[in-house]
Amino acid sequence: MTIKDTPEEWEIRSSETPFRGAKTSVRTDEVVMPDGSVARRDYQVHPGSVAILALDDDDRVLLIKQYRHPVRQKLWEIPAGLLDVPGENPLHAAQRELYEEAHVKAEDWRVLTDVYTTPGGCDESVRIFLARGLSEAQGERFTAEHEETDLQHARVPVDELVRGVLAGELHNNCLVVGVLSLVAARGGDGLDVLRPAEAPWPARPFEA
């Protein structure tokens, strides 16, 4: 048996979208089960996201702290953002988010991992990049609004983040997955064999 996720789509008898928001919507599908029964499945339809684990020369990860209203907490996170344009190149989106949220650019980009955040209730897929060779970006800083006007920034050693994740002190999924994937990659074949920055992404196809 090969342990690998595979595409599959069960028959949908009907589909409706009872809610449409600014960025996401909610869809209700009636799906035919293997035994022939039909079950309703409600889920959030999401454009997809990118996240950036930006690692500096001192082995520190660039973090931001942001208020997240659904969980009523300020969370330490890695820079991230939505794929605002259908078919948008995820690398370009990640470079934009790193600039906007941290005013930083990077010379070396790799794909760290791709994840579905909550596949039981949302179709969001996130591509997490590893960015190295960091430097301050040129030009004016991005004008923040809403929650982003209250961002805090920090650079934290990888070992300290691993400790915080395992101690239950850090909860953002992209931060947790990104940091642990970084450590796993280092303990395996190394960072230089990670997928290239424009590797195919079947969950969110794009033009290079």
Q: What is the mean pLDDT of residues 164-176?
A: 98
pLDDT at 7 over 90: yes
What angle, rounded to 10 degrees, do the helices at 173-187 and 158-166 form?
120
Interior CA angle at 96 toward 208 and 133, to 5°? Answer: 90
45: which 2 tokens?
């339809």
> For 81-139, what is the HEC assignment?
EECCCCCCCHHHHHHHHHHHHHCEEEEEEEEEEEEECCCCCECCEEEEEEEEEEEECCC
Share of the chain above pLDDT 90, in %: 88
pLDDT value of residue 120: 95
Q: Which residues does 196 contact at the CB level (< 8 Å), separation at least 6?
A: 110, 111
Q: Residue 6 has which token pair? A: 């595979």
Question: What distances in angstroms separate CA 157 from CA 15, 51, 97, 140, 179, one per listed residue?
Answer: 47, 18, 22, 28, 10
Q: Is the pLDDT of residue 1 over 80?
A: yes
Q: Which of 8, 100, 145, 148 is catalytic?
A: 148
Per-residue pLDDT reduced to its tens digit, 117-159: 999 999 999 999 999 999 999 877 766 666 667 789 999 999 9
Mean pLDDT of the chain: 94
| pLDDT for residue 58 is more than 90 | yes
For residue 84, the model assigns a pLDDT of 83
Predicted local confidence at residue 144, as pLDDT? 61
State which amino acid sits at residue 61.
V
**Residue 150: CB atoms within 10 Å:** 11
The angle at the Cα of 77, spanning 99 to 50, to the nearest 5 degrees, equals 55
Per the model's pLDDT, the better-predicted residue between 206 and 148 turns out to be 206
| 140 annotated active-site | no
pLDDT at 71: 96
